[in-house]
Amino acid sequence: MISELEYKSRRETLGTKLSNNSVVVLFSAEPKTRSNDTAFPYRQNSNFYYLSGFKEDNSALVIIKTKKGLKTILFVQSKDKTIELWNGKRLGEKKAKEKFLVDEVHSISTLQEKLKEFFVSKKSLYYDFSLDYSKVKTLKKYSKQIFAHKNIALLIGEMRLIKSNAEIELIKKAMSITKEAHHEAMKFDKRNKYEYELQAKIEYVFKSNGAYSDAYTSIVACGNAANTLHYVSNNKMLIDNELILIDAGCEYEYYASDITRTIPVNGTFTKPQKELYTMVLEVQKKIIKMIKPHAKRSTLQAKAEKLLTLGMIKLGILKGNYKKLIKKKKHKKYFPHGIGHWMGLDVHDEAPYKYHNDKEIPLMKGMVLTIEPAIYCDKNDKSIPKKYRGIGIRIEDNILVTSSGYENLSKSIVKSINEIESKKISCSYNSSLLNSSLLPR
């Protein structure tokens, strides 16, 4: 778990990046309406949570930097028996002050009056530029004398690039649960079932191990549906002799995992499926081996595109010289996305890929990223060999950059053809994991 000292240390680190006589204002996430008067499960804004560890809505965090130092004020929903009757207990000002290492705690009802006070004689205001207009309007109403408005999300994003040991442990915990879910999906008798039944099996494993939510809507795409990159309908029958692309990862204590495996419905790959799968898997292995400090994502991307293009030429999907094909972006038809992305508090972590001078940020110890080469062969693509039409394959792992190279955090989730076809896949979700000391309380 993340300690209160670590949250405090993050705020202090942020303070070193702020200009003097400045104010930071961060708001909690707004509850999202599902339909009419029902709501989606609440999930805190990642940047707000990163600096506070506070999970309640209707809250705000203010950080003030002056020559005297840094001051942190947390605003929370006051205790209210009627509101708590309908929506659950609140921590309130008193207990929040006891729990969190902040200088002051006030009721959120006093925020606007306090802002008037905080903004006096300040030169800079930092807030998230993606805020909804009503909150921006409130800030601007009380900060007319402040000449500089700056995007705090950029500074926090830079900090989120490097994961602490505690963050890495939470990601590893999420990964251990996701492993059990994918292995259960491989063992599950999928014939004559629907995609949503397999999705339910996966998400049951998530929740039964303390991961109360998925990190994103699970993709369970059988056959040609795998060629829709963000397919989430998950309502088709699982067809014998087809492949299923499963992109599913849980979120554990706000930290994500993001894993894709492509497996056969009946447990056995056909020859064309093996040919495509082997090609993608070999590319992935080679790209992962390139990961180390100072390497660049653009280099990984270029290498993946070259290897995939050469593989497609060998299989007859593309024809011609690979350099000319890449220059004309012919490979993009079958591999249209990036080789990977940052991962952490968000499955697509809100962290930059370039410095302010537009130079690419190289890999550094403590970064976590996905590596996910793929090939998508639409069933209606008459330009490719018939045996490959309707097959979509993506293989995705989560990689931690270490001081000397990398650690594949998801290496225990099987992905070789022999392992997937084996009946000896380990799955222990209903025993050892449930006793973990890391389960949230």
Q: Cite the active site residues.
A: 37, 230, 247, 258, 337, 341, 348, 372, 376, 394, 396
State the DSSP code for 48.
H
Query: Do 392 and 376 form a contact (C-beta atoms < 8 A)?
Result: yes
Cβ contacts of 282 within 8 Å, gap of 6 or more: 307, 311
Q: What string of DSSP letters covers 279-306?
A: HHHHHHHHHHHT--TT--HHHHHHHHHH
Query: Do 111 and 141 form a contact (C-beta atoms < 8 A)?
Result: no
Comparing C-alpha atoms, which of 161, 132, 159, 147 is closest to residue 27? Answer: 132
Query: Do 90 and 41 form a contact (C-beta atoms < 8 A)?
Result: no
Q: What string of DSSP letters covers 376-389?
A: EE-TT-TTS-GGGT
* Token pair of 323 as six digits: 């350099």
Query: Looking at the chain, how many residues does it have?
Result: 441
* Token pair of 68 as six digits: 């005297």
C-alpha–C-alpha distance, residues 238 and 196, integer Å: 10
* Token pair of 21 as six digits: 């006589």
C-alpha–C-alpha distance, residues 279 and 48, integer Å: 42
Q: Label residue 8 left, alpha or beta by phi (over 0 means left) and psi (-120 to 50 means alpha).
A: alpha
C-alpha–C-alpha distance, residues 291 and 101, integer Å: 37
Q: What's the count of helices (H) and strands (E) in the chain, helices before strands?
A: 13, 19
> 244 - beta bridge partners?
222, 263
**Three-state DSSP class for residue 46:** helix
Largest Cα separation within the chain, whole Å, is 72
Write out the H or E segment, with its range, that includes residue 66. strand 60-66
Query: Do 243 and 273 form a contact (C-beta atoms < 8 A)?
Result: yes
State the DSSP code for 228.
S
C-alpha–C-alpha distance, residues 41 and 31, integer Å: 8
Q: What backbone phi and psi angles, to 5 degrees, belong to 148?
A: -120, 120
